[in-house]
């Protein structure tokens, strides 16, 4: 998600309302209204940007933990024993 309006450069936080086109051009609500909800770059419709429910860093940490296997049931990684 882009963090600034592409028209006026207003900062847009991860929970702030914003409008985007299908190419993810991002605009603050005021600029989107002034543009009549049409993207000046592609002429596409500007629609409400989905809001995130968690901080981006929390999502990244969660994904990283999953990929590294943290939080899963522990597995026995000990070396096999030989019977002989």
pLDDT at position 71 is 62
List 26's β-bridge partners, or say none: 20
pTM recorded for the entire structure: 0.64
- The first and second tokens of residue 18, run together, are 């914003």
Burial of 27 (0-12, 13-18, 19+ CB in 10 A): buried
pLDDT over 80 (residue 73): no
Q: In the structure, what pLDDT confidence band is assigned to residue 76 with cuts at 50, 70 and 90?
A: very low
pLDDT over 70 (residue 19): yes
36-64 tens-digit pLDDT = 999 999 999 999 998 777 666 776 777 77
What's the mean pLDDT in 63-68? 79
Name 54's Cβ contacts closer than 8 Å, sequence gap at least 6: 62
């Amino acid at each position: 998600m882009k963090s600034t309006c592409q028209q006026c450069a207003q900062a847009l936080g991860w929970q702030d309302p914003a409008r985007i086109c299908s190419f993810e051009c991002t605009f603050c609500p005021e600029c989107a209204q002034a543009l009549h909800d049409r993207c000046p770059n592609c002429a596409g419709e500007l629609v409400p940007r989905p809001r995130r429910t968690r901080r981006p860093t929390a999502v990244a940490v969660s994904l990283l933990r999953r990929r590294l296997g943290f939080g899963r049931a522990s597995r026995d990684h000990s070396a096999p024993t030989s019977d002989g």
